[in-house]
């Protein structure tokens, strides 16, 4: 089965999974399209609060999405997920740097798994999911209809241009798993940077999105995350290291949502310049992040948010 056929299969299966879902694509879109949730999916979802569009994929993007969904459920009216834009790793025509990013380490069956589950996660929450090209007029119109107050990005392969960057009044922010403030690990290969530097720890950087990849102002960073195993060795499989790094994403997402929600309630648009995540995140979470990597092979289950942060 070819990659385009796999793409069609995923679209077909997720639409069939719930009666009332619809898949559409526009003439100017070279791959993917828009999947609309069924009217019966999350019918109690309100249209109140900070409007968020997430550009995300793979397990990192899925975890940010699940954290935002949990935040919306627990604090109704504060945030409002209105759209998900995701990578399309099943179509060779998709311009997502497929061979340079995390997808290069994932075989086709697990690409299908990851793609299907993030789409299902968005649709089940009652939000539309887009899998296509973003530098086209039909997508610009879609973004204007979604009318986001803020855009969040986590694992997304297309270059985001000035139209999208300038659209949300509260800014656009990317989660990147390396120390961008010290010029470490920018670009699609943060694991290789750890190898080159013989690093024992790393951090996540939250930064403003610019048209230059990973070059925007750094808003804040996570506490250190241990990337070595109990023998003091960096695991040879990048996916094992990335799954360890995922432990920091829920608290970063939570406290970013808190700050953005506070500014939204005060009607103070504009980019957030600084968040001191280190002072906000508990010592228990910091200690967990510094525990050694315990797995030798990637875990074949999706990550789940650390719900302790909501306490």
Structural domain containing residue 299: 3-310
Q: What's the pLDDT score for residue 146? A: 98
pTM of the full predicted structure? 0.95
273 and 173 Cβ atoms separated by less than 8 Å: no
Rounded CA-CA distance 150/117 in Å is: 24
pLDDT digits (tens, 9 = 90+) for 271-286: 999 999 999 999 999 9
pLDDT value at 2 more than 70: no
Confidence of residue 208 (pLDDT cuts 50, 70, 90): very high
pLDDT in tens, 129-145: 999 999 999 999 999 99
On whether the CB atoms of residues 177 and 247 are closer than 8 A, the answer is: no
The owner of tokens 């399209």 is 33
Please check the confidence at residue 4 and state whether its pLDDT lies above 70. no
Find the CATH number of the domain harbouring 30.
Answer: 3.40.50.170
Which residue from 192, 204, 159 is spatially nearest to 60, judged by alpha carbons?
204
Q: 84 in helix, strand or coil? A: strand
Quick one: 300 exposed, middle or buried, by C-beta within 10 A (0-12, 13-18, 19+)?
exposed
- Residues 52, 58 contacting (CB under 8 angstroms): no
Indicate if the pLDDT at residue 265 is higher than 90: yes
With beta carbons less than 8 A apart as the criterion, state whether 53 and 84 touch: yes
220 forms beta bridges with 206
Half-sphere exposure of 9 (CA within 13 A, CB side): 15
Residues facing residue 154 across a β-bridge:
56
CA angle 154, 159, 165 (to 5 degrees): 80
- Sequence-distant (6+) residues with CB within 8 A of 214 are 174, 176, 180, 186, 187, 207
Q: Which residue has the tokens 């999947």?
A: 35
Q: What pLDDT does residue 109 have? A: 84
For the ranges 2-16, 85-99, 143-157, 167-181, the lowest mean pLDDT is seen at 2-16
| Residue 189 near residue 162 (C-beta atoms within 8 A) | no
DSSP 178-218: S-GGGT-S-SS-HHHHHHHHT-SEE--EEEE--SSTT-SPE
Confidence of residue 156 (pLDDT cuts 50, 70, 90): very high
Mean pLDDT score of the chain: 94
Q: Which residue in the block uniquely carries the two structure tokens 């306490």?
A: 311
Residue 3 — pLDDT band, cuts 50, 70, 90? Answer: low
pLDDT tens sequence across 42-66: 999 999 999 999 999 999 999 999 9
Confidence of residue 92 (pLDDT cuts 50, 70, 90): confident
Residue 236 predicted with pLDDT over 90: yes
pLDDT of residue 1: 41
Domains identified in the chain, total number: 1
How distant, in Å, are the alpha carbons of 36, 133, 140, 231, 241 from that of 26? 14, 10, 12, 53, 38
pLDDT computed for residue 233 by the predictor? 97
């Amino acid at each position: 089965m070819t990659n385009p056929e796999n793409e069609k299969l995923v679209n077909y299966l997720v639409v069939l999974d719930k009666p009332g879902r619809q898949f559409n694509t526009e003439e100017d879109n070279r791959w993917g399209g828009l999947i609309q949730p069924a009217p019966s999916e999350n019918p109690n979802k309100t249209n109140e609060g900070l409007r968020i569009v997430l550009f995300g994929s793979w397990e990192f993007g899925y975890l940010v999405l699940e954290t935002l969904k949990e935040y919306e459920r627990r604090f109704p009216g504060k945030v409002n997920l209105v759209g998900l834009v995701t990578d399309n790793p099943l179509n060779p025509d998709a311009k997502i740097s497929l061979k340079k990013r995390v997808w290069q380490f994932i075989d086709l069956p697990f690409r299908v798994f990851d793609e299907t589950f993030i789409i299902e996660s968005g649709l089940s929450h009652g939000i539309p999911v887009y899998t296509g090209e973003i530098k086209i007029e039909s997508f610009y119109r879609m973004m204007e209809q979604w009318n986001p107050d803020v855009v969040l990005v986590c694992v997304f392969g297309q270059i985001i241009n000035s139209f999208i960057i300038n659209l949300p009044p509260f800014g656009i922010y990317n989660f990147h798993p390396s120390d961008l403030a010290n010029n470490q690990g920018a670009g699609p290969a943060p694991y290789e940077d750890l190898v080159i530097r013989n690093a024992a720890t790393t951090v996540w950087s939250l930064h403003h999105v610019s048209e230059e990849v990973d070059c925007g102002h750094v808003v804040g960073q996570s506490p250190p995350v241990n990337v070595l195993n109990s023998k003091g060795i960096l695991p040879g499989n990048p996916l094992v290291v990335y799954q360890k790094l995922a432990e920091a994403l829920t608290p970063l997402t939570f406290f970013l949502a808190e700050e953005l929600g506070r500014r939204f309630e005060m009607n103070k648009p504009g980019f957030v310049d600084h968040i001191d995540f280190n002072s906000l995140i508990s010592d228990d979470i910091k200690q967990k992040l510094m525990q050694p990597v315990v797995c030798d092979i990637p875990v074949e289950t999706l990550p789940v948010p650390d719900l302790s942060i909501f306490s």
